[in-house]
Amino acid sequence: MDDTQKLIIITAPSGSGKTTIVQHLLDNNPQLAFSVSACTRMPRPSETDGVDYYFLSLEKFTRKIANHEFAEFEMVYEGKYYGTLKSELQRIWDSGRTPLVDIDVQGALRLKKHYGEVALSIFVKAPSLEVLKQRLLDRGTETDVSLRERLDKAGYETSFAENFDRIIINDDLRTACAEATKEILLFLS
Ligand code: ADP
Ligand code: 5GP
């Protein structure tokens, strides 16, 4: 790998605003490209194979693990694997762009450990668990059970925040996007 091959890793507890910030970064920075992960869950009706995820059977995913094709992988949800393919990062580097990797907290820590100084790892944090809960309620995507699960997990994941290169507090969205953009451009310069 040459030293121009950098990557940006963004992670956050569910409901912190990661997807919103990642979309803003992709829309406004053509040098960044979304790193499409592989996963073993079923596609949702709105999702396209190769765009949102590479949807793989468990058998195919397991074969890729055995062939060392992943830079990192995790069982993010019970029985469901998600992973960053080395070939996906290379595809983006070959196109002259920088991969933006949007993954869960444990996967992000693993990827940062693997790539070290060529990776910038960013943890997006809601101002408080109360605000996070309200955002999840307003988003209207959760059942009582999944809301509880996400809030419990958020507390645990937040305990790893200090292990990341940068922590961005997503209180005012414009400020958080501006801060993320500034940090990324500085890192890539
Ligand atoms: P994540 O990808 O981290 O689960 P989302 O990007 O889906 O989070 O954001 C969760 C909800 O909070 C969405 O409805 C989003 O529109 C809203 N949101 C994101 N950032 C802010 C913010 N700074 N202020 C208020 N609402 C926000
Ligand atoms: P969803 O199933 O809702 O699309 O995503 C579930 C979670 O998996 C999100 O927290 C997302 O960040 C995480 N995720 C997506 N791709 C990867 C990946 O390649 N590796 C890891 N470790 N997590 C991922």
Rounded to the nearest angstrom, the distance between the alpha carbon of 132 and the centre of ligand 1 is 8
Query: What pLDDT tens digit does each residue of the chain (189 aa) get?
Result: 555 799 999 999 988 999 999 999 999 999 999 999 999 999 988 999 999 999 999 999 999 999 999 999 999 877 899 999 999 999 999 999 999 999 999 999 999 999 999 999 999 999 999 999 999 999 888 889 889 988 999 999 999 999 999 999 999 999 999 999 999 999 999
Please give the helix or strand (H or E) that residue 183 lies within, else none. Answer: helix 173-188
Whether the CB-CB separation of 55 and 42 falls below 8 Å is answered with yes
Helical H segments across 29-163, by residue range: 58-66, 86-94, 105-115, 129-139, 144-158
Q: Which listed ligand is nearest to 85 at the C-alpha?
A: 2
Q: Of 39, 40, 72, 82, which is best to mutate to test ligand 2, by the most ligand atoms within 8 angstroms of its C-beta?
A: 82
Q: Which residues line ligand 1 (CB under 6 A)?
A: 12, 14-20, 135, 138-139, 170, 172-173
